[in-house]
Structure 1
Amino acid sequence: MKTYALITGLLLSFILISCGSESSGDNDPSIPDNTQEVTGTVQLIKGGPLTAQSSTNTRGMVEIVKDQQNKYFVRLSDTFTTKFSTGTVTVYLSTGQTLNLNSQGSFQLISIVGKAGEHFFALPGKPDDKFTHGIIWCGAAGIPFGFAPLN
């Protein structure tokens, strides 16, 4: 039984390490800067607080906002952070709190996020009302780092 627990612990550690480190990613040129400039003040359409998953310290807010030029954005709040904020952390909109990458139409990939803090990711228009959650996902390990209900 101790061997099983040790192997399980090592496997979990490997998966979490494969998602990166706690560095902010500021010096990694492979992480795109997708933060978009908004015009004027923004209007909150819907949003909610992140709930951490997979033993991460993910926190902050995920929001759908609209600027004064009627452009829509996914906003991560200035309090956004995740334990593994490297190039493998991605933001999705989803039809539920669990991301199902095998169900086309149940998610919309928004962007890679490479550092903590506020981000604005431009959307092509108002997102479909079927998207009820924002998801923070580690693509390298295929595990959730957090979800936020969009109310």
Structure 2
Amino acid sequence: MQSAVLLLSLIGVFQNCGCSKIIMLKLLLPLAGETRIDLTLEATGGCYRWTSIRPEVASVQPIDEETGQGCSRKAVLQALSTQPSRLTSIILAEDVGTGQKLHCDVSVDVISSISVFSTKRKIHLDDSPLLLKIIALDSEGAHEISFLSL
């Protein structure tokens, strides 16, 4: 389970553009259990108020709030659902300056398997950026494909 927690913390899509964005756009998290998984979401290009449209499925709490503005660029996401079926939520981040809304789709389900693919066999700390492809399969065989640049 701990290796699944580590790999799940890597699931996400990283994009390179000069626009506002949430770093992780689509996530598949395991059901809430004895071990709670906290995942940090990050948005760029502004200061955001964070909300979950289904807080009973996944909660989101801002961190590193900017004093007096009630907003932050980072938030902690946590799966809360314990039902052994896929439930979804959308995490919204609203820029307090522009009103622009960003979103992250979150699914909570039983994860049957995780596969990580790379062009390298060994990963060293001082290596140049590395691209990983991560595939997580849920109980129905549906999957989330993500790319992560380290």
Normalised by the length of structure 2, the TM-score is: 0.36
Normalised by the length of structure 1, the TM-score is: 0.35
Higher relative contact order (CA 8 A, sep 6+): 1
Structure showing the higher helix proportion among its residues:
1
Structure showing the higher strand proportion among its residues:
2
